[in-house]
A and B are shown apart, each in its own frame.
Chain A
Amino acid sequence: MLEKIELIKKNFDEDIKKVNDLSSLEEFRIKYLSRKGIVTQIIDSLKDVPKEDKPIVGKAINELKKYTHSLFDELKNKLESEKLISEKFIDLTLPGRKKEIGSKHIITQTLDEIKNIFKGLGFSVYEGPEIESDYNNFEALNFPDDHPARDMQDTFFITNKFLLRTHTSPVQIRLMQSKKPPLRAIMPGKVFRNEAVSAKSYCLFHQVEGLYVDTDVTFAELKGTLVAFVKQFFGQDVKYRFRPSFFPFTEPSAEMDIWWEPKGKEGRWMEILGCGMVDPNVLSNVGIDPEKYVGYAFGMGIERTSMRKYGIDDIRILFDNDKRFLTQF
C-alpha cells in the first residue's frame, strides 16, 4: 500500500509538470483530484486497510492529500492570474496622477530650524511690530542720542519718533516690560536697514533675537547655549570662536564666528551672530533690578545663514521669488 502511495506521488509530480494552461489543468484535476480521481480513490481505499496498518497508511495518505492539493492550488492561482494579465493589459509604467505640494520660503525654513532648536532648549517664541518707536528701538536699548553707535544701523524713519525697526531687539524691551523674569525667549522677525540694495545687502532682512533673564545667568552659559546651537545647526564638528565686539545693549559683548570653507575656496572665519550679557542700563530701563537679575541676549541674521547653508551668493534672489528658485526647496 505504501509503495502504491509513493508511486502515485511520483506520477503526480511528473504529470503536473506537463500542465501548461487552464484546460490541461482541468484534465489533470479529473485524473487525480476529482471524485473518481486517483488520489480520491486511494483516500477512499483506506477503509479496506487492515486495522493494524491504519495508523501508518492513514498518515501517508493524509500527507499525499495535503501535498497534491497544495501543489494543485498553487498552480491554479498562477495560471489564472497569467490568464487575467494576458486578457487585459495594464501598463504599470504610466506616470501616476500627481498633486503638487508647495513649500515654505527658504528663509522660513531656516527660521523654523532655528526655532525648533531653541524651543528644545526651553525658549518661548515672541513676535513684535515692524514699525517701532525710537524709544524701543534705540533709547531703551542704551543707544544714546547723538552717539556714533546709531550709525551702525542705517535707519528708515517714519517720523522723528517712529521708524522701521532696525533689529528685533525692541521685542526684548516689550517682553521685559510685560513679563517678569525668568524670561527665556527667541524673537524672530523682519527688520529694515537703509542700505543700498546689492548682492550683499537688501533693504530688509530677517533676524532672530534671543533673551534669557534670571538670577543666575552667566556668560559661560551663553557660550554653552550658542555652541549647542551651532553644533546642531551646522554639524557637530563645526569650528567656532568668540571675539569681543560692541553693542550698546549688551556688555560684555561678543561676536561668534564659524570657520567656513566653501567648496573649492579658501576657508575663513565668518561672523554668524552677535551676543552678550544684557547691559544693566537696559534692565533698569524696563524696571528689572540689574543687581539681582542677569541676562544674556543674542541675535543673528537669517538670510546670511540660509545663504551660507545653500551656497547662495546674491541676497536678491531670495526676494525675486522666481518659481524655479522656490521649487528647489
Chain B
Amino acid sequence: MKISLNWLKDYIDLTGISIEEIIEKITYAGLEVEDVIDQNKIYQNIIVGFVKESKKHPNANKLSLCLVTDGKNDFNVVCGAPNVAAGQKVPFAKVGAIIPNGKFKIEKAKIRGEVSEGMICSEKELGISDNHDGIMVLEESLQEGISFSDAMSLNDIIMEINITPNRSDALSHIGVARDLSAIFNRPLKFPEIKINETKVKSEELAKVEIIDNVNCPRYVGKVVTNVTIKESPDWLKRKLKNVGLRPINNVVDVTNYILYEIGQPLHAFDLDKLAQKKIVVRNANENEKFVTLDSKERILKSTDLMICDAERPVAIAGVMGGENSEVTFETKNILIESAYFNPSSIRKTAKRLALSTDASYRFERGTDYNITVWAAKRAAQLIQETAGGEVANGEIDAYPKIIQEKNTFVRFSRIKKILGYEIENKEVENILLNLGFEIINKNEDKLELKIPSYRNDIEREIDIIEEVARIYGYNKIPEINKISITLEEKVDNSDFTDKTRNVFNALGFYEIITNSMLSENIAKEFGNPIAVLNPQSSEMSHIRPSLIPGILQTISNNLKVNEKDLMLFEIGKIFNQKNYQINSFEDFEENEYLIAAVTGKVSRDVWYEKERDFDFYDLKGLTSVSLNKLIPNISFRIEKNENIKNYYEYSVKLKIDKDEIGLLSKLSNKILNQFDINQEVFVLELNLDKIKNIEIPQKGFVELLKFPKIYRDFAFILDEKIESETVIKLIKESGSKLLHNVNLFDIFQSESLGKGKKSLAFQLEYFDYNRTLTEEEVEKDFRFLINLIETKLNAQLRGA
C-alpha cells in the first residue's frame, strides 16, 4: 500500500525525524517498507524551461529545433512533439537527468546532424499520466529555471508498505500514523470536523432498512443536496495521484480520500436514482444479473449481500457500486454510505467474482464499526468544501444490534515467560495506551484492557504480548547464547534416503530434482495419477504416478545440449489414486521411490579402454552393489516380469521374499520417441518405503579362512536359450558342501560351436573352514557336476 509522507504529516508531527529513521522504525514495528520513491530525486535536473524559439529541423520533417532557456543559459534542443511552440513553459530535462518513465539518462547528442542538449518531456515520460500525444505544457506564470518538482508540488516521499493480512487497521494514513505515534511517543492528531448542516434531517430525505443484519451489522447514511459535480481541486487530485489513485470527480474523490485517510470504504449514490429514496440491505436473488461500475455484468448468488433500493440492487455490498446509481456530472443529491459488513461474507463474494477492490480488500480484513458515523460526517464536510451543496442534519444510523467492544488482559509475568525478557510495566502500559487500548483495571500482576474497535486482530493475551514486543522492538530483546538440550530420543527420518544418495553418488550417479506435476496424457501412461483441481496449465494438471517421465524429460533436455552420457537418479514421492474419489488418505498412495537411469556411453575412447554403450548388465551390477550397501545381509532375487507395461522393452522384478521392491528395465522405443530420445535408456525403480524399514540382521564376525582354496574350471557348449542362472543354480544346488562360489567367467558364441549354441565357462571355488581339502574329494564332486550338467542340460563339456 502506498503511503505519502506529506499526507501522514496531517496526523502526526514528525519534525526532527529523518525519513531513514521513519522507514527503519516502522519496518521494525511490523509495517515493512518495501520501496521508497522520493519525488525530489526522481525529478532531479528536470526544470521549468521557456521555449524561446522553435523552427523546423533542416533534415527531418517531423522534428523541430528549439532554443530553451532556464533563465541563465540557452540550450539547443531537438524535439519531436507536434505541439511544441515558442513562448511555452515546458518541463525540460537537462543533460544528466534520468527520465522517470524508462529510466534513461539524458546526454548531449546529435540528432540528424543537429546538437541536442536536453529533452522536453511529455506527461507519460514524467510518469504523471499516460498522455504521450505531445509535450506537457505548463502554466505561463511559472518561473523558468525552478525545479519541476517544486513547480508541480511533487515533493513528496511515497513509501510502499507491505501490510500483513492481520493489520487491517493500518490500511490507511491514520492507521500508519497511529503506529508512528506509539513508536515515537508523539500524539496523534485526528482531523476536526466542522459542518454547516441544514435543518432538514437525513432521515427525512432517505430511508435505510437492513434485512440481513448478520452480514451487515451497521449501515450509516448521510445526505448532501444540491452539489456541483466537477473536477476535484488540485490538492485533492495530487494526494490521490501520489498514492496511485486516478481522480474521477469531486464526490468520488472525497470517498477515496477518506478510504485512504481512515480506512473506511464509502460509497456515494445518486439519491435521485434510488427508487423511493430507500436503501434495503439484503441477499441477492439466485442468478440475478447486475451491472457494476466497470460496465461488466455480474451473475449473483443468493449468498451475496446486496445494497438495493426499493426495487432493485444498486451495489454489491462492500465490493463495487452499480452503474444504475452512479454519481455523474448531472447528479445533484447524494447519499453517502458508510457501513460495516461481515468480513467473511464480503470475501466470499469478492473471491467468487474475482473482483478485488480497495473497498473489498478492507472489508474482508475487517473495518472499524465505530468509525462509520465519523467517516460519513467527514465525507459530508469535504463534499461541501469541494462540491458545495447543503448537508442534511445528522445521519441515518441503522444499527440493529450494538456490537460489544471486547476486553482482554495481559499478565506481566506472561510477557516475560514468552519473550524471555522483562519489559518494565510502565513501558508496557505506555505502548498500549499509545496504540489506543484503554486500561480498565490494573495491578502489579496484570492489566485489564479494552480493545479499540479498529483492532479486530486482537482478542487474546498473546495478541497483546505481540503488540508490546513489536513496538518495544524485537531487536532490543537480547538473544540467548546458551541453550539446554533435552535428552529425548533423537530421530532422523531422512537417514535412509541420505545413505541412498551417498551410495548412488559413489557409483557415479548425479542427483536430479524434477517437477512433480505432469500433463494428463503423460501421467496416465505411467499409472493412475491424481488430478489437480486448479492446475496452473494443462502441462501440469496431474501429480506424477512414476518417476520415469521426469527422468526422461531430463535426459531429453540434456541430449538437446549434447550431453549424451548420463548416470542420473532422483528420489521423490509418487502418487497413485486407488479409489474413484479421494475422501481420505486411504484413497490414494504416496510412496517414496528412487529412479536411477543410465544412457549413452560408459566411457568415451580413452587410452586404456575402448568406448562402450551402457547396457542392462551395467545397471544390474550397480543395482546389486547398491543394494548390498543399503540393505546388507538381505538377499534379494530377480524374477521375470511377465506382464510388462508398454513403456518397457523388457523388465525384471527385484524381490525380497515375496515382496516386490523394484524393477530393472530397458525402456521401449515407443516411449523414448515420445521424449525425443534416440539412444537406449535403462532404469532402476526402487520403492524406498519397502526397503527403508527392513531390519538388517546383525551378522557376527566371520572367521578368516585358514586353509587353502582349490579351484576347478570347466566350460560347456549348450543351447543358447538356456539361461546362465539355470546352470549356476544347478551347480550350486547339486554341488557338495565344500563348493562355496561359482563364477561365470566367460561367454562365447561362434559358428564353430554349432548353430544356436553357446559356451559358458565357470570357475568353482572349494574350501573348508576347518581343514585342507584333498584333491580327490574335489575331483569327485567336479566330475559329478560335469556329468550332471551334460545329462540334465544336454550340454557338452568343452575340450573333452
The 8 Å CB contact of B513, one of A99, A192, A294, A319, is A319
Residues of B within 8 A of A318 (CB): 513
The 8 Å CB contact of A214, one of B347, B486, B582, B590, is B486
**Beyond A159-B582, A223-B477, is A279–B417 a contact (Cβ under 8 Å)?**
no
A209 within 8 Å of B by Cβ?
no
Of the A-B pairs whose beta carbons lie under 8 Å apart in the complex, a sample of 21, sorted by A's number, is A102-B510, A104-B501, A108-B501, A122-B485, A124-B489, A125-B493, A148-B347, A158-B531, A196-B536, A203-B517, A204-B516, A218-B420, A220-B421, A220-B480, A244-B30, A246-B165, A251-B466, A254-B474, A279-B462, A321-B568, A323-B561
Q: Write the chain A residue with the least CB distance to B531.
A: A158
Is B582 within 8 A of A119, CB to CB?
no
Min CB–CB distance A186 → chain B (angstroms): 10
Is A251 within 8 A of B463, CB to CB?
yes
Interface members, chain B 200-225 (any A CB < 8 Å)? none
Is A192 within 8 A of B516, CB to CB?
yes
The 8 Å CB contact of B165, one of A108, A147, A241, A320, is A147
Is B508 within 8 A of A101, CB to CB?
yes
Min CB–CB distance A257 → chain B (angstroms): 9
B94 within 8 Å of A by Cβ?
no
The 8 Å CB contact of B510, one of A125, A277, A323, is A323
The 8 Å CB contact of B479, one of A160, A220, A253, A279, is A220
A56 within 8 Å of B by Cβ?
no
Residues of A within 8 A of B557 (CB): 320-322
CA distance A224 to B460 in the complex (A): 26
0/1 string, A250-268, CB within 8 A of B gives 1: 0111110000000000000
Q: Write the chain A residue with the least CB distance to B535.
A: A156
Is A159 within 8 A of B511, CB to CB?
no
Min CB–CB distance B511 → chain A (angstroms): 4
A151 within 8 Å of B by Cβ?
yes
Min CB–CB distance A205 → chain B (angstroms): 10
Q: Write the chain A residue with the least CB distance to B468.
A: A252
A245 within 8 Å of B by Cβ?
yes
B488 within 8 Å of A by Cβ?
yes
Residues of A within 8 A of B419 (CB): 218-220, 252
The 8 Å CB contact of A184, one of B365, B486, B506, B533, is B486
Q: Write the chain B residue with the least CB distance to A159.
A: B582
B490 within 8 Å of A by Cβ?
yes
B418 within 8 Å of A by Cβ?
yes
Is A131 within 8 A of B575, CB to CB?
yes
Residues of B within 8 A of A161 (CB): 583
0/1 string, B455-492, CB within 8 A of A gives 1: 00000101101100110001101111111011011111
Min CB–CB distance B557 → chain A (angstroms): 6
A304 within 8 Å of B by Cβ?
no
The 8 Å CB contact of A108, one of B488, B511, B534, B583, is B511
Min CB–CB distance A32 → chain B (angstroms): 48
**Beyond A242-B475, A252-B465, A252-B466, is A99–B494 a contact (Cβ under 8 Å)?**
no
B193 within 8 Å of A by Cβ?
no
Interface members, chain B 503-557 (any A CB < 8 Å)? 504-517, 530-536, 540, 543, 554, 557
A22 within 8 Å of B by Cβ?
no
Residues of B within 8 A of A127 (CB): 493-494
Is B488 within 8 A of A182, CB to CB?
yes
CA distance A121 to B30 in the complex (A): 29
Q: Write the chain B residue with the least CB distance to A157.
A: B533
B498 within 8 Å of A by Cβ?
yes
- Having A321-B568, A323-B510, one finds 19 other A-B pairs with CB under 8 Å, namely A94-B607, A133-B585, A157-B533, A204-B515, A204-B517, A218-B418, A218-B420, A223-B478, A224-B479, A246-B30, A252-B469, A252-B470, A320-B557, A321-B514, A322-B558, A322-B561, A324-B563, A326-B510, A327-B510
0/1 string, B151-177, CB within 8 A of A gives 1: 000000000000011110000000000
Question: Which of A188, A203, A251, A252: most chain B CB closer than 10 A?
Answer: A252
Question: Which of A156, A225, A255: most chain B CB closer than 10 A?
Answer: A156
Is B508 within 8 A of A319, CB to CB?
no
Residues of A within 8 A of B566 (CB): 323
A149 within 8 Å of B by Cβ?
yes
CA distance A326 to B513 in the complex (A): 11
Min CB–CB distance B793 → chain A (angstroms): 38
0/1 string, A299-329, CB within 8 A of B gives 1: 0000000000000000000111111101100
Residues of B within 8 A of A160 (CB): 533
Min CB–CB distance B554 → chain A (angstroms): 4
B567 within 8 Å of A by Cβ?
yes
CA distance A127 to B689 in the complex (A): 13
CA distance A88 to B143 in the complex (A): 97
Residues of B within 8 A of A246 (CB): 30, 164-167
Residues of B within 8 A of A279 (CB): 462
Min CB–CB distance B498 → chain A (angstroms): 7
Min CB–CB distance B21 → chain A (angstroms): 15
A107 within 8 Å of B by Cβ?
yes
**Beyond A102-B510, A192-B516, A218-B419, is A324–B561 a contact (Cβ under 8 Å)?**
yes
Is A243 within 8 A of B167, CB to CB?
no
